[in-house]
Structure 1
Amino acid sequence: MELELKEAARPEDVLAFTDAVLGGESNLNANLANIAALLNQYLPRINWVGFYLSEKASGDWVLGPFAGKPACTRIAREHGVVGTAMARAETLVVDNVLEFPAHIACDADSRSELVIPIISQGQPVGCLDVDSPDFARFGAEDVHLLEAVVAKLAKAWSNFHWY
């Protein structure tokens, strides 16, 4: 499998790459790291992309694989954009994070954010989080593509192992 998208990659290329990654590996960390790298390479005008994972013992969302500046390691349940999206169990697009109540500014350059929960067997197990330095960066096409990537992750989630 080629681990690099061509410059003129299309959404279907991103989905094919996601299928190839998930079809050939059962390690959760490896899969999430490759998908974060893929999305970082594919999505223009972003400054951070990665995953937060559910920590059962605390109920917090804990930083997983990502691409970008160092990030907040732990987000309390129902705090910030991540916690709000996870509490609602639905995609959340914030066009201006400066106006979002209780926004957690992990990267002071971020202006918009998209969070998509990963739901496996009826439970939120993590989320995909994407930040941009541009206001209102994320449109319907981005949401559609990234929800499709997350759906692939959710479907395969029970087959993943953490070693």
Structure 2
Amino acid sequence: MAEDLSIHKGTKEEQYVGLIPQIKGLITGEDNQIANLANVAAALKEQFNFFWVGFYLVAGEQLVLGPFQGPVACTRINYGRGVCGTAWKESKTIVVPNVDEFPGHIACSSLSKSEIVIPIYQQDSIVGILDVDSAELNAFDEIDEKYLTEIVSLLS
């Protein structure tokens, strides 16, 4: 198991390509979900300096805050509510260029300006979501979606 993170320079895609093998090293051989989620959140925050990176886990009809890096966050999000609850309800990744323009956005922090949310599946059920926020507008694109989806698949 790797316990050090090498920060990669270059394009966003080059950074993801350099980070993914390190994430695999962090989680390979560790079967504790909380430990793996915590290390993935930390690795993403360190590599990209995102405003907030974290996980919400399905508990009944709510998402409950899991491991994260960044300022304090909303503890519970109802099914279908906000970006996270909507991604869960619609079973799809959601990229929000400007959170102020997303109907029903839950502002855990007014400093968050854009967001990407990726569902985490086990078998065919969503068991959680990865939520990444940026303090910049339009921070996320198809490169983030591609590589964050790949990272989430490592957790399934």
Q: In structure 2, what residue type is equivalent to 1:74?
A: R
The answer to whether the Cα contact below 8 Å between 1:5 and 1:38 also exists between their aligned partners in 2 is no
The answer to whether the Cα contact below 8 Å between 1:92 and 1:116 also exists between their aligned partners in 2 is yes
Match of residue 90 from structure 1: 92
* Structure 1 residue runs without a partner (length 5+): 155-163
Q: What TM-score, normalized by structure 2, do the two folds share? A: 0.92
* Structure 2 residue runs without a partner (length 5+): none
Offset at 1:5? Answer: 2.0
Match of residue 5 from structure 1: 6
Which structure is higher in RCO with an 8 Å CA cutoff and minimum separation 6? Answer: 1
Q: Runs ≥4 in structure 1, deviation > 4 angstroms?
A: none
Rounded Cα–Cα distance in structure 1 between residues aligned with 2:126 and 2:85: 11
**Secondary structure at 1:24 match in 2:** coil
Match of residue 52 from structure 1: 56
The number of residues matched between the two structures is 151
Match of residue 109 from structure 1: 111
Offset at 1:27? Answer: 0.7
Q: In structure 2, what residue type is equivalent to 1:51?
A: F
Establish whether residue 16 from structure 1 lines up as the match of residue 13 from structure 2: no
Identity %: 44
Q: Deviations over 1:18-73 (max 9, x none)?
A: 211221211111100000000001124x21000000003xx100000000000000
Q: What TM-score, normalized by structure 1, do the two folds share? A: 0.88
**Secondary structure at 2:107 match in 1:** coil
CA RMSD of aligned residues (A): 1.2
The answer to whether the Cα contact below 8 Å between 1:111 and 1:131 also exists between their aligned partners in 2 is yes
